[in-house]
Amino acid sequence: MSGVMKVGIRLELPAEEEEYRSISVDDYSGGGIVILHAFSRGRIIYAVETDQRKFSLARSIVNEVLRLYSMLEGVKEELPQTQGKREPS
């Protein structure tokens, strides 16, 4: 097999649109990594695409998205809720 193999990682996480807007990662397009993201039907969708030579960096990006998501989930659990909405400060 000749050439470089392409790889992709896709994440789908349940979330609210506000959480989607809170999670952003740097643009790596100049580094040979494409990051596509969207919010649809209560889910954050991230797709990271690159070639096998950059897989380690792509994996690091996915781990960062997961870390940010976990952090947001932890904060959300600690916030007081009033009828599903945060209390005004």
The answer to whether the CB of 33 falls within 8 A of the CB of 55 is no
For the chain, the C-alpha Rg in angstroms (whole number) is: 16
Any idea what the CATH number is for the domain that residue 20 is in? 3.30.310.50
Does residue 66 lie in a domain region? yes
Does residue 85 lie in a domain region? no
Count the domains in the chain: 1
Range(s) of the domain holding residue 52: 6-78
Distance CA 59, CA 56 (A): 5
pLDDT digits (tens, 9 = 90+) for 20-71: 888 777 777 777 888 889 999 999 899 999 998 888 888 888 898 888 888 8
Does residue 54 lie in a domain region? yes
What pLDDT does residue 83 have?
46
pTM of the model: 0.68
